[in-house]
Structure 1
Amino acid sequence: MLIIDSGIGGLSVLNNIKKNFPNINYIYMLDNEGFPYGKKKKKFLIERSIKIINIIKEIYPIKMVIIACNTISTISLPILRKTFNIPIIGILPIFKPAIEITKNKTIGLIATRATVNSSYIKKNIYKYSFQKTIKVIATNELAIIAEKKFRKIFISNVKLREIFQSWTVLSRQPDTIILGCTHFSFLKKEIQKIFYKPINFIDSGETIVNKIKKYSYQKKKKKIFFYALNTKKKYNNYYFF
Structure 2
Amino acid sequence: MFDSGVGGLTIWQHIRALAPDLECHYLFDNALFPYGELPQPILNQRVLSLLLKLLETVAADAIVIACNTASTSVLNDIRLHVDIPVIGVVPAIKPAAALSQTKHIALLATPATVTRQYTDQLAADFAPDCRITRLGVSELVHLAEHYLLTGRLDEQTLAQLLKPISEQPDIDTVVLGCTHFPLVASPIASVLTSVRLVDSGYAVAQQVMRKLARSADEPLFERVEGVYYATKTLPNEEDFNQAVATFGLKKGRVLNLPL
Q: TM-score, normalised by structure 1?
A: 0.90
Give the CA deviation at 1:24: 1.7
1:56–1:62 Cα contact (<8 Å) kept = no
The aligned counterpart of 1:180 is 177
Change in CA separation of 1:228 and 1:166 when aligned onto 2, cut-off 3 Å: closer
CA distance in 1, matches of 2:116, 2:193: 31
**1:65-104 maps to which residues of 2 (within 5 A)?**
65-104=63-102
Change in CA separation of 1:127 and 1:54 when aligned onto 2, cut-off 3 Å: closer
CA distance in 1, matches of 2:180, 2:193: 23
Change in CA separation of 1:205 and 1:170 when aligned onto 2, cut-off 3 Å: same
SS, match of residue 120 in structure 1: helix
1:38–1:140 Cα contact (<8 Å) kept = yes
SS, match of residue 6 in structure 2: coil
Identical residues among aligned pairs (%)? 27
The aligned counterpart of 1:44 is 42
Identify which of 197, 207, 210 aligns with 1:211.
207
Change in CA separation of 1:222 and 1:161 when aligned onto 2, cut-off 3 Å: same
1:38–1:114 Cα contact (<8 Å) kept = yes
Change in CA separation of 1:100 and 1:59 when aligned onto 2, cut-off 3 Å: same
For residue 191 of structure 2, what is the amino acid of its counterpart? I
1:168-213 Cα offsets, whole Å, 9 max, x none, are 22242x111111000000111111121342x211111221122112
Gaps of 5+ in 2: 215-219, 255-259
Give the CA deviation at 1:86: 1.3
Relative to structure 2, which stretch is displaced further, 185-194 or 222-231?
A: 222-231
Change in CA separation of 1:128 and 1:88 when aligned onto 2, cut-off 3 Å: closer
2:78–2:86 Cα contact (<8 Å) kept = yes
Tell me the matched-pair count: 237
Gaps of 5+ in 1: none
1:229 matches 2:225: no
1:9–1:182 Cα contact (<8 Å) kept = yes
CA distance in 1, matches of 2:124, 2:213: 35
1:64-104 Cα offsets, whole Å, 9 max, x none, are 10000000000111111112121110001121211111122
1:143–1:184 Cα contact (<8 Å) kept = yes
1:107-166 Cα offsets, whole Å, 9 max, x none, are 111110111111111222344554122111011111111001011164222211221112
Relative to structure 2, which stretch is displaced further, 219-228 or 205-214?
A: 219-228
**1:33-182 maps to which residues of 2 (within 5 A)?**
33-128=31-126, 130-152=128-150, 154-172=152-170, 174-182=171-179
1:219-241 Cα offsets, whole Å, 9 max, x none, are 98834011122214232145597
Relative to structure 2, which stretch is displaced further, 180-189 or 152-161?
A: 152-161
SS, match of residue 150 in structure 2: coil
Aligned Cα root-mean-square deviation (Å): 2.2
1:27–1:223 Cα contact (<8 Å) kept = no
CA distance in 1, matches of 2:19, 2:128: 39
1:68–1:205 Cα contact (<8 Å) kept = no
1:36–1:143 Cα contact (<8 Å) kept = yes
CA distance in 2, matches of 1:149, 1:97: 27
Q: TM-score, normalised by structure 2?
A: 0.84
CA distance in 2, matches of 1:148, 1:94: 25
